[in-house]
Amino acid sequence: MNKDFNYSGLKLGIIGGGQLGKIMSQKAKKMGFNVTILDPTPNCPAAQVSDRQIIGGFYDKEKLTQIVNESDVTTFELEHIDTSVLKELYDAGHNIHPSPYVMELIQNKYEQKKLLDEKGIPVPAYKDVKNNDDLASFGFPVIQKAKLGGYDGKGVQMLKTPQDIQNCIKAESFIEELVDIDKELAIIVARNIEGEIKCYPVVEMLFDERVNICDSVMAPARVSKHIEQKAIDVSIDSIKALDGVGIFGVELFLTKKGEVLVNEIAPRPHNSGHYTVEACATSQFEQIIRAVTNLPLGSTKLISPAVMVNLLGEEGYEGEPFIEGIHEALDIPELSFHFYGKSVTKPFRKMGHITVLDDDINKALEKANKAKNILKIKGSKKV
C-alpha cells in the first residue's frame, strides 16, 4: 500500500472472529474500512459488527485463499492457522501481516523460545523433550508445555513429582524451569511496516489459579522505574528479533530476584491489552489496523490508570448466556462493560470484560473487584 492508496473503503480481511476480531473490526470500521471476517461459526462476534463473513475454518486452504485474494490487507486475531497456503500467497505479493513466516515461528512455542534465547533475550531455562528422561532433567516440580496449539492455560501443566510423568502431555513438548515469580507482567508492542515500534505501558496480569486464565490486568504495573525499563527493553528486543509487523503481546515473568524473563509472545492483540480501549490514546485494536495498513502508529500514552477484569462463564452453567448483576455493576463510576455476543456460555469461557478507570489505581482495583463480585455470566442450562 503506497502513499497514494485511497484508504476510503480499504478492504481488510481478519482471520478469526472472536472478541479480538470483533474489537479490531470495530476500530477498522471507525476508520471507514470494509471488513471481511473468516471464521467457521456463523454469526460469530466479529461478523456481527463487520461488512461480511466468509464461513470457513482456519485450516481451510480454499477459504484462506479467498479472504486474502479479496482483501487489500489480511491480518489475524489468532495464531492457530494453516500457514502453508498463506506463505504461498505472501510470496506472491499479497499483503499479509504479521507474515505467515512469523506466525509459523510463533506457533511453535519451543522454536519461539529458542530464537529469543539465541538473540540473547532472557528466558526461563528450557529443554526439548524427546523422552521421559528429558522430562526429569530439571528435577521436580517442572513445567511441561506442548510445542503447538496451547492457549488460555491449555497445553501447559506442572509435573510436581516423577509420578506425574505418567499423566504428562503426550504431544511434542518441552520443559521449562519453575520460575520463582514475583509478578506476571505484560507489554503490548506495535510495529508497523516501516519498522516504527511503539510500546504500551507495562501491566500486571493476575490469574484465576483454578484454570490458569488471565483474570485481571492492572495498568500501570506496580513496579519500579528500573523494572519497567527492563521490561520495555526486553519486549522491544523480542519484537525486533521476530521481525514482525502488527501487535504483539509479550508476557513476562518478574522473578523474586528482580530478573525480567520473556515467557511467551502472542502475534496479535492480547487480553493484557484490552484496557487500552478506554485507557490509552490509541487502543491496541486500532493500532494493529494502523500497523498492517501502513499507516503511522498512534500514541500509546496512558490517559488514565485502569483495571480490566475478564468475565468468564460461571462454573455449572452452559447454553444461552444470562447476565446477572448488570444494573448494580454499571452503577459503578467509570466502568465500561464489554459483552462479546457469543451465543453460548461454558464454564470459564471468556464471555466479556470490564475496564474500570480511576486516577488512583488502587481505587480502580477496588471498583473492579466490586464489579467482579456482582457480575455473573450464567446460562440457560445447569451442568
Q: Which residues bind a second copy (CB under 8 A)?
A: 3, 6-9, 22, 26, 29-32, 34, 48-51, 278, 281-282, 286, 290, 295-296, 298-299, 301, 303-304, 320-323, 326-327, 330-331, 333-341, 352, 357
Q: At what angle do helices 84-91 and 100-107 cross, to 10 degrees?
A: 150
CB of 283 to a second copy, least distance (A): 10
- Give the Å distances, CA to CA, from 238 to 118, 186, 227: 11, 13, 16
CB of 224 to a second copy, least distance (A): 25
Q: Cell numbers for 105, please give them.
A: 515461528
Bridge partners (DSSP) listed for residue 49:
none
CB of 381 to a second copy, least distance (A): 14
For a second copy, the closer of residues 36 and 235 by Cβ is 36
Query: Dmax of the chain from CA atoms?
Result: 64
For a second copy, the closer of residues 50 and 75 by Cβ is 50
Residue with cell 528466558: 123
Please enumerate in sequence order all residues whose Cβ is within 8 A of that of 56, keeping only pairs 6 or more positions apart, or say none: 38, 39, 40, 62, 63, 64, 66
Feature table: binding site for ATP: 109, 145, 176-179, 184, 263-264
Residue with cell 516501516: 194
Q: Where do runs of H (alpha helix) occur along 92-195?
A: 100-107, 109-118, 132-135
**Closest by Cα among 36, 41, 61 to 51:** 36
Residue 322 is given by DSSP the state E
For a second copy, the closer of residues 261 and 291 by Cβ is 291
For a second copy, the closer of residues 150 and 246 by Cβ is 246
CB of 21 to a second copy, least distance (A): 13
CA gap 226, 205 in Å, rounded? 19
For a second copy, the closer of residues 22 and 372 by Cβ is 22
CB of 124 to a second copy, least distance (A): 37
For a second copy, the closer of residues 65 and 304 by Cβ is 304
CA gap 208, 234 in Å, rounded? 26
CB of 68 to a second copy, least distance (A): 22
Q: What are the two backbone dihedrals, phi and then psi, of residue 373, each rounded to the nearest 5 degrees?
A: -75, -20
Feature table: binding site: 109, 145, 176-179, 184, 263-264
